Every structure is written in C-alpha cells, then in structure tokens.
Amino acid sequence: MPAPIIKVDAISKSFGAFKVLDGLSMQVMPGEKLALIGPSGSGKTTILRILMTLEKIDGGHIQVDGEQLYHMERNGQLQPADERHLAKMRQKIGMVFQLFNLFPHKCVMDNVTLAPMLTKGLARTAAEKRAMELLDMVGLADKAKAMPAQLSGGQKQRVAIARALALSPKIMLFDEVTSALDPELVEEVLNVMRKLAAETDMTMLLVTHEMGFAHDFADRVLFFDRGRIVEEGKPDEIFRHPKQERTQSFLKKIIAAGHRV
Amino acid sequence: MTQWSGYLGLILQGALVTIELTLMGSVLALVMAFLAGMGRVSRFFVVRALATTYIEFFRGTSIFVQLFWAYFVLPFARLSLTPLQAGVLALGLNVGAYAAEVVRGAILSVGREQYEACTALNLGRWQGMRHVILPQALLVMLPTFGNNAIELLKATSVVSLISLADLTFQAQVVRSQTGSTLMPFVSVLVIYFALALIISWGIRSLERRMARGLDGVRV
C-alpha cells in the first residue's frame, strides 16, 4: 500500500473566538478524488486554504508528498517553515477558486503563462505551447487572446483550471468552483474536471455543494461539521446510507433545496 | 509692439523653466512615491518606519520652508545646490510624500483574491507585486497622480523666491519694467492653466490606454 500524499494531523485553526478547525486529521492517497461536503462554516474550505498556505495554522502538522508543509527540519529539529520552504511545497499544489481570481489586466494566454515563466523559468515559446495544450484541453484554445472580462463565468473558471494546471501540480484543490456560476454554465466546468480525472492521476480535493457530481466523481466523501470530520466513506455510503444524524439532516436540507443527489 | 513681444519672450523663457521644474520634479516625486508608498506596505518594520517618517515630515512642513532649507541651509552642510537643483529637490520630495500615500492606497485597493492567486501560483512577493498587483494599482493611482502633478506645477512658483527665473518670476520682472500689471499676469494665468490642461489630458489618455480590455472589471 502506497504512502498517503497528504497527511493532516490534529490541525486546529481559529478566526478570533471562532474555532473553525478543531483537531482535524485526515489522509489522502495519491490519485484519490476526494469530496469535502458539509454546512458552511464547517471548515472544509479552510482546510483547502491551509493546504494552499493561504491561512496559517494554530497547531498540528501537515505532510504533503512526504515532507512537512508548515515545518522544516533543521539540525534534526522541526522548525516553522520559512518562505523558501513554503515556495518549494507550493510547487506540489494548485488551487482553483470560487471566484476564479483571474488577472483582469492580462489576456487568457498571459494568465496561463505568467507563473510557469516566472517560477519555472520557462521560455515564452515553451510556456505558450504548453498553455495552448491546456487551453485546448479545457476547450478554450480560441480564447487565448481574449481578456478575462470578455469571458463568461464558466469560461473564466476553465481558464483558471488551465492556469493552475500549467504548473503541473501533483495535487489540485477545487474550492466551490461552480458556486458562482449560472446554472447552465456549471456543467462545462464539471466536464473539464471529469476529463482531468480520466486523463491524469492527479490527486484532487474538492469542496462542493454539487452533491450529484460529488457522488459520481469522488472516490471518497468527507462530511465536515464544526471543524471536524463527522463521517466519511464511499459516495454511496454517505449519500444513500448516512449513519450519523448530522449527515442525514444536512443531506435532507440539501435535497429539500432542490439539489440532485 | 516689438517691446511687447520682447516681454512675451521673457515670460515664455520663464514658462520653459517652469516646465523643466515640473518635469524633473515629477520624476523625482514619482520615484519617491513608489519607494515610500511600497515601503509603507513592507514586511519590515524599519522600512515602514523610514517611509512613514519621510511622508509625515514632508507633508507636515511647508514647501517654502523645505525650499529654503534646500537652498540656504544645505550649503552649511557643504552641499550647495543651484536654484534649479534645490527647486527640483524640494518639489520632488514634497509632492512625492503626498503621492506615496496614493501608491499605498492603490496597492491596498487591489483585492485580496489577487494576492491569493499569486500565492497559489507560487509567485514570490516581488513577482506578484510587479506583474499582478502594481499593474492593477497603477490604474487606481493615475487620476490622483494627475492631481499631484498639477499641484506640483503650481507649486513651482515658489522657486521665484530663490531667484530662479520661472514663469512667476518673469511676470514680476515684466511688471516692474513696464508698469503694466494686466499683461504679464494674464499671460501667466493662461500659461499655467494651459500647462495644467495638458497634464490632465495626458493623464486621461494614459488612463484610457491602460484601462483597455478591463471593461466592466474595474472603474
């Protein structure tokens, strides 16, 4: 059995008096597709943001790809990671945001090529060749010269996925990537993610309210509530036969709100 | 008639000095604005403290006093400046202090999500600043930079006090030589106004050029 690519060990995180993660532990295997579900404020987005080093942790340890994320070893001792260590670890991880976070002053092509050229020293021609492959993969090869403001939400999000992929991360984090989209645009983004899952062995973690998609897509579902994982299992177990009362009432509410499971 | 054109020539010579001061002062102000404005958002306390001290000092003391220091006091420290150098120094440092706050405000106005995208793409602090934050912040700075440049243009008139023959100085010369008040003062009024219009127009066309493609994203 291979080693987990992500090992989260007793992570705690508070925003002021609000304890958003309360001793959270979890493991993710290489290539696994993981869906994180749960009510808002349950900490599922926070753990993604912590993995992307967008938040600091209050306590605990995280290992990514065999190395400590927030700590580094110096003379046999664990110390808080410095910026250089964090930069090294970030190479393993990419993230796609709910609101796309594209660079509005750069065209689609430049959005995708900026980071590879700056962080990997790729020449422009090489970066653009790779960007065209990725834009082709997300179905937007014809939009390379467009500005983000000229794109629909679904197209923006597909560009954002291509931009994250351009750095070839081992792990991709998807933070409610369809929540800001008009309903008719959701499917084009989900299709890209299905394609990505089919064509690569990338580890994918997604926070989502698309229960139907989570059901079909994920290898494993984690149900978060109040900063802890209350229940986890195969999609069928969680969605068809939830054991915990809190999972049951959450899913009932979601279904009442009209979501397909 | 030839006499009048001679006097007009004097005033135009003054206008050239004013333009020269404005251009050189603006360059220094711009450099100081970015140094101090970015210093204000630095991670390092010492850098922040230095930037804050500079800004507060030069905003908090009068441009007259600063100019007199540059011209009359610095020589005691064995640093003698020509009137033009002293003028550029005082104007640049003074207006740079105001513009530094514009730079800081504009940098902070760029949304947190842009900084987060930089982190997620593993850009270094400076790389993100240079390629993502500043290009967007520049658009926010431009209108106020236009204000600052016009302020600087008008403040150049104080250099007549250290006997630099700028527009205001030459107007006084013409007035004392001809006894006419209306002609020189109308001329300088019109010239200052025309120069300010040119600055406004230049900034606005720069804004339009930089905003291209951003339609509907930011105002």
**d(C-alpha B32, C-alpha B55), whole Å:** 10
**Residue of B43, B109, B115, B121 best to disrupt the A interface, most CBs of A under 10 A:** B121
- Asked if the structure places residue B63 within a domain, the reply is yes
Provide the domain limits for residue B137. Answer: 2-211
Total structural domains in chain B? 1
pLDDT-derived band at B1, boundaries 50, 70, 90: low
Dig out the tokens for A61 from the structure: 């340890």
pLDDT-derived band at B2, boundaries 50, 70, 90: low
- Asked if the structure places residue B216 within a domain, the reply is no
pLDDT greater than 80 at residue B213: no
Are the C-beta atoms of B18 and B167 separated by less than 8 Å?
Answer: yes
- Position A73 scores a pLDDT of 82
Interface contact B124-A148, CB threshold 8 A: no
- Asked if the structure places residue B217 within a domain, the reply is no
Rounded average pLDDT over B178-192: 92
**d(C-alpha B137, C-alpha B140), whole Å:** 5
pLDDT, averaged across chain B: 92
Are the C-beta atoms of A189 and A178 separated by less than 8 Å?
Answer: yes
B17-26 confidence digits (pLDDT tens): 999 999 999 9
pLDDT greater than 70 at residue B94: yes
Q: What percent of chain A is helix, strand and coil (3-state, nearest 5)?
A: 40, 25, 35
**d(C-alpha B85, C-alpha B76), whole Å:** 16
- Position B113 scores a pLDDT of 95
B134-148 confidence digits (pLDDT tens): 999 999 999 999 999
Interface contact B213-A107, CB threshold 8 A: yes
Amino acid at B18: T
Interface contact B117-A90, CB threshold 8 A: no
**d(C-alpha B91, C-alpha B158), whole Å:** 9
Q: What beta strand segments (E) does B145-197 contain? A: none
From residue B150, alpha-carbon distances to A30, B66, B194 in Å are 61, 19, 11
pLDDT greater than 80 at residue B216: no
Q: Identify the CA nearest to B164 among candidates B9, B13, B62.
A: B13
Interface contact B120-A99, CB threshold 8 A: no
Q: Identify the CA nearest to A101 among candidates A135, A152, A148, A133.
A: A148
Chain B residues whose CB is inside 8 A of the A115 CB are 121-123
- Position A61 scores a pLDDT of 94
Interface contact A101-B131, CB threshold 8 A: no
Task: Given the cut 0.90, state whether the ipTM is greater than it.
Answer: yes
- Asked if the structure places residue B77 within a domain, the reply is yes
- In this complex, the residue of A104, A115, A147 whose CB is nearest that of residue B121 is A115
- Position A41 scores a pLDDT of 87
Q: Identify the CA nearest to A229 among candidates A217, A219, A221.
A: A221
- Position A165 scores a pLDDT of 97
What percent of chain A has pLDDT above 70?
Answer: 98
CA dihedral sign, ordered B119, A102, A131, A193 = positive
- Asked if the structure places residue B139 within a domain, the reply is yes
- Asked if the structure places residue B188 within a domain, the reply is yes
**d(C-alpha B217, C-alpha A189), whole Å:** 22
From residue B206, alpha-carbon distances to A60, B28, B143 in Å are 51, 20, 10
Any idea how long chain A is? 261
**d(C-alpha A173, C-alpha A178), whole Å:** 13
- Asked if the structure places residue B70 within a domain, the reply is yes
Distance from CA of B20 to the nearest CA of A (A): 33
pLDDT greater than 80 at residue B51: yes
pLDDT greater than 90 at residue B58: yes
Instruction: Name the burial class of residue B103, with classes exposed (0-12), middle (13-18) and buried (19+) by CB atoms within 10 angstroms of its CB.
Output: buried
Rounded average pLDDT over B152-165: 91
A129-163 confidence digits (pLDDT tens): 999 999 999 999 999 999 999 999 999 999 999 99
Are the C-beta atoms of A74 and A38 separated by less than 8 Å?
Answer: no
Q: What is the DSSP letter of B217?
A: T
Interface contact A164-B119, CB threshold 8 A: no
CB atoms within 10 A of CB A104: 22
Chain A residues whose CB is inside 8 A of the B128 CB are none
- Position A254 scores a pLDDT of 84
Does any CB of chain B come closer than 8 Å to the CB of residue A117?
no
A73-93 confidence digits (pLDDT tens): 888 888 899 999 999 999 999
- Position A261 scores a pLDDT of 57
Dig out the tokens for A11 from the structure: 């992570």
B60: domain CATH number? 1.10.3720.10
Does any CB of chain B come closer than 8 Å to the CB of residue A98?
no
A112-129 confidence digits (pLDDT tens): 999 999 999 999 999 999
Q: What is the strand order of the sheet A59-64 is part of?
A: A18-28, A6-15, A59-64, A67-68
Chain A residues whose CB is inside 8 A of the B136 CB are 103-105
Chain A residues whose CB is inside 8 A of the B116 CB are 54, 97, 101
pLDDT greater than 50 at residue B197: yes
**d(C-alpha B22, C-alpha B52), whole Å:** 25
Distance from CA of A162 to the nearest CA of B (A): 12
Rg from Cα positions in chain B? 21
- Position A78 scores a pLDDT of 85
Q: Which residues contact A72 (CB under 8 A, 6 or more apart)?
A: A78, A79, A80, A81, A82, A85
**Residue of B109, B116, B122 best to disrupt the A interface, most CBs of A under 10 A:** B122
pLDDT greater than 60 at residue A35: yes
Does any CB of chain B come closer than 8 Å to the CB of residue A11?
no
**Residue of A53, A83, A101 best to disrupt the B interface, most CBs of B under 10 A:** A101
**d(C-alpha B190, C-alpha B159), whole Å:** 19
pTM score over 0.90: no
- Asked if the structure places residue B40 within a domain, the reply is yes
Dig out the tokens for A243 from the structure: 């054991």
Chain B residues whose CB is inside 8 A of the A97 CB are 113, 116-117, 120
pLDDT greater than 80 at residue B47: yes
* Residue that is written with structure tokens 């120069």 in the block: B195
* Residue that is written with structure tokens 């991709």 in the block: A172
From residue A135, alpha-carbon distances to A9, A110, A117, B82 in Å are 37, 12, 17, 59
Chain A residues whose CB is inside 8 A of the B110 CB are none
- Position B8 scores a pLDDT of 87
Interface contact B217-A119, CB threshold 8 A: no
- In 3-state terms, what secondary structure has residue A6? strand
- Position B217 scores a pLDDT of 44
